[in-house]
Amino acid sequence: MWLTLLYSCSGGAALLYALYRWVIPAAVQHHGGLALMWHDVIVERMLDTVTRSTRPQRLLGAVQKNATRGDPCSVIQAIDHFCRNKEWAMNVGDEKGCILDAVVSEVNPATVLELGTYCGYSTVRIARLLPPDAKLITLEFNPDFAAIARQVIAWAGLEEKVQLVEGASGDWIPRMKEQFGVKTFDLVFLDHWKDRYLPDTKLMEECGILRKGSVLLADNVICPGTPDYLEFVRNSPRYESQYFKSHLEYTKVEDGLEKSVFLG
């Protein structure tokens, strides 16, 4: 009887593990809402409880274990491997990251504003491509995320290129000129709360930190989606926009980046 019970329990555990590790992740690969619910709510909360750590802490651990200190590319590779093979996280990801890289290289910005640092993945991607005298300011509302991002950026050896600021974008955007001595930004990467894309874009216009030719690059415009922002930049005579079709980070769900050039 005990052997039968043990076998049934072990069989049940194996089934649950298979469901968690392979079956459900495969099933949600093509459905945005389910993918976000599974990865960003269910799995994250479960692992937080089991490991008594947070996803950003686990991501940092993967960087410290697998990436070479002072090598930004190895930091990016370590995070991508962690997110594809261990635990999903809402970075811009490797596929859209190549689009981000191409835009940064094309613009060759001297001043960059990133809205939404999270764990510093996109910050590292951007900063590693900037010329020595360029300035990258990245804003993060969550202090726990900011603490992890600082360590990831430092591990990549890019702390001298990056100024990480904690707080709400709506509070900091009006203070950019006075606080940081930045007249305008050549490139703005929007990757924070999706309902802030449009109001923060309008706020940047009002505060005069966009110049003619400034480029806005917005992530996750399809999934989770930013319909009000897309409607604005695609129909405003002040912007010339282009959509780059891709996929939600580490999935097969359609997503993309919207590049919008401010025409003044």
191 catalytically annotated:
yes
What does the DSSP 8-state code read for residue 253? S
Specify whether the CB–CB gap between 162 and 153 falls below 8 A. Answer: yes
Any residues with CB less than 8 A from the CB of 71 and at least 6 apart, and which?
156, 157
Cα distances (angstroms) measured from residue 249 to each of 44, 181, 194? 16, 34, 16
Q: Is residue 142 annotated as a catalytic residue, yes or no?
A: no
Q: Both ends of the chain: CA-CA distance in Å?
A: 78
Q: Dihedral (C-alpha) 52, 57, 60, 66: value to the nearest 10 degrees?
A: 10
- Residue found by looking up tokens 């917005």 in the block: 218
**Phi, psi torsion values for 147, nearest 5 degrees:** -65, -40
Burial class (CB in 10 A: 0-12, 13-18, 19+), 10: exposed
Q: Which of 94, 140, 200, 219 is catalytic?
A: 219
Q: Are 153 and 127 in contact (CB under 8 A)?
A: yes
Catalytic residue chosen out of the listed positions 80, 94, 191, 258 = 191
- Kindly name the residue from 80, 194, 255, 258 that is annotated as catalytic: 194
**8 Å CB contact between 187 and 217:** yes
CA distance 8 to 2: 10
Q: Which of 44, 220, 258, 259 is catalytic?
A: 220
Hey, is 231 helix, strand or coil? helix
Among 80, 249, 255, 258, the active-site one is 249
Max distance between CA atoms of the chain, in angstroms, equals: 78
Q: Is the dihedral of CA 109, 246, 35, 43 positive or negative?
A: negative
Catalytically active residues are 191, 194, 219-220, 249
